[in-house]
């Protein structure tokens, strides 16, 4: 049974994406700010950050295509349905439907990959960009050693259909929980309501399939799109990179890496593992509010 995925003070809306229906929360007052979640989660990662940011911004907080309550197109012959370029088109369509031709964007994990792809493909739409606990996909595939060992799911989920789906059948929630527990700082416990939403979502076979397609698209399309963008030049808009001080991304010298991709860059480590908006909500809200104001 699907949960509503509500955050107090926000309205749930069903809005157009690019050929799909997107389920999102909208609320707050001020300049528009799009908040994007990652794998294996839903928009509920923003539960503790959104009420603070809503004092200064109009927030749009969707479930990405294939996740949570948004539509989940599945077509074995069309793996490009989950490339970040396509997922970015969803965000652009949603924001335009809501009346926002230009806006700020912040994303965590897969959502950050959608966010920077949107910034490269539609720079006129993105005023400022914040990426949380990632390095670009192209750089991640070039990584090796200890940092990459914690990211085994990149290769596992990207295996051809239906191998990972078969292995995860009836276990999607347990796999998601195991990953999340691996990637947090010691002693952290997820918000019970948010965690229930993640696990319920990952019990849906369509979500498991979409998650695999998301990672397949990273290898088949996203890294190639990154190569094309990097060859054309850096992002022009201001970019903020945040990462967890206790996570794997910090070991990769993220600011040094992002400097290859963005002309106007700032960033900092926050006291968290991978799930920065949940492990360090006050620090995340402070950093985002200061950057986007």
Task: Determine the structural domain holding residue 65 and report its residue range.
Answer: 11-292
Number of Cα atoms under 13 Å in the Cβ half of residue 147: 20
Does residue 137 lie in a domain region?
A: yes
Does residue 6 lie in a domain region?
A: no
* 3-class SS of residue 203: coil
Q: What is the pLDDT of residues 184-195, one digit of tens each?
A: 999 999 999 999
Does residue 3 lie in a domain region?
A: no
Which value, in Å, is the radius of gyration of the alpha carbons in the chain? 17
CB 82 within 8 A of CB 213: yes
189 phi, psi to nearest 5 deg? -125, 130
E strands within the chain? 11-16, 21-28, 32-36, 58-62, 103-108, 126-132, 239-244, 265-270
**Residue 274 designated active-site:** yes
The answer, yes or no, to whether residue 1 has pLDDT greater than 80, is no
Q: What is the pLDDT of residues 23-33, one digit of tens each?
A: 999 999 999 99
pLDDT at residue number 239? 99
Q: Of the listed 63, 109, 133, 213, which one is catalytic?
A: 109
CB 71 within 8 A of CB 62: no
The stretch 41-66 carries a mean pLDDT of 98
User: Where does the pLDDT of residue 2 fall: very low under 50, low under 70, confident under 90, or very high at 90 and above?
Assistant: confident
pLDDT at residue number 213? 97
Q: What is the mean pLDDT of the chain?
A: 96
**Residue 226 designated active-site:** no
Tokens representing 23 are 């389920």
Does residue 239 lie in a domain region?
A: yes
Q: Is the pTM of this model over 0.85?
A: yes
End-to-end CA distance of the chain: 39
Alpha carbons 194 and 139: distance in angstroms, whole number: 30
pLDDT at residue number 175? 98
Q: What is the pLDDT of residues 157-169, one digit of tens each?
A: 999 999 999 999 9
Does residue 4 lie in a domain region?
A: no
Q: What is the pLDDT of residues 111-166, one digit of tens each?
A: 999 999 999 999 999 999 999 999 999 999 988 655 555 688 999 999 999 999 99
Does residue 75 lie in a domain region?
A: yes
Does residue 208 lie in a domain region?
A: yes
Q: How far is CA 249 from CA 78, 131, 132, 217, 256, in A?
A: 31, 12, 10, 21, 12
pLDDT at residue number 165? 97
The stretch 253-265 carries a mean pLDDT of 97
Count of structural domains, the chain: 1
pLDDT at residue number 147? 58
User: Where does the pLDDT of residue 212 fall: very low under 50, low under 70, confident under 90, or very high at 90 and above?
Assistant: very high
pLDDT at residue number 150? 66
């Amino acid at each position: 049974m699907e949960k509503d995925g509500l955050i107090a003070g926000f309205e749930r809306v069903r809005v157009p994406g690019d050929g799909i229906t997107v389920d999102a929360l909208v609320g707050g007052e001020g300049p528009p700010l799009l908040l994007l979640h990652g794998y294996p989660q839903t928009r509920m990662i923003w539960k503790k950050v959104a009420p603070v940011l809503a004092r200064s911004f109009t927030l749009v907080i969707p479930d990405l295509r294939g996740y949570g309550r948004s539509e989940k197109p599945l077509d074995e012959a069309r793996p490009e349905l989950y490339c970040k370029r396509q997922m970015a088109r969803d965000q652009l369509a949603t924001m335009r439907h809501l009346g926002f031709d230009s806006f700020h964007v912040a994303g965590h994990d897969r959502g950050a990959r959608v966010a920077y792809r949107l910034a490269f493909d539609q720079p006129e739409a993105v005023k400022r960009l914040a990426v949380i606990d990632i390095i670009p996909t192209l750089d991640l595939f070039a990584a090796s050693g200890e940092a990459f060992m914690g990211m085994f799911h990149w290769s596992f989920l990207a295996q051809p259909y239906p191998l990972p789906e078969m292995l995860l059948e009836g276990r999607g929630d347990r796999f998601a929980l195991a990953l999340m527990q691996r990637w947090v700082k010691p002693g952290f416990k997820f918000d019970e309501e948010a965690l229930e939403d993640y696990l319920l979502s990952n019990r849906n076979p369509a979500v498991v399939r979409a998650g695999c397609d998301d990672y397949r698209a990273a290898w088949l399309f996203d890294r190639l799109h990154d190569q094309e963008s990097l060859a054309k030049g850096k992002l022009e808009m201001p970019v903020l990179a945040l990462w967890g001080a206790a996570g794997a991304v910090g070991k990769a010298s993220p600011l040094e890496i992002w400097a290859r991709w963005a002309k106007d860059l700032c960033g900092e480590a926050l006291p968290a593992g991978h799930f920065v908006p949940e492990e360090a909500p006050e620090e995340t809200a402070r950093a985002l509010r200061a950057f986007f104001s």
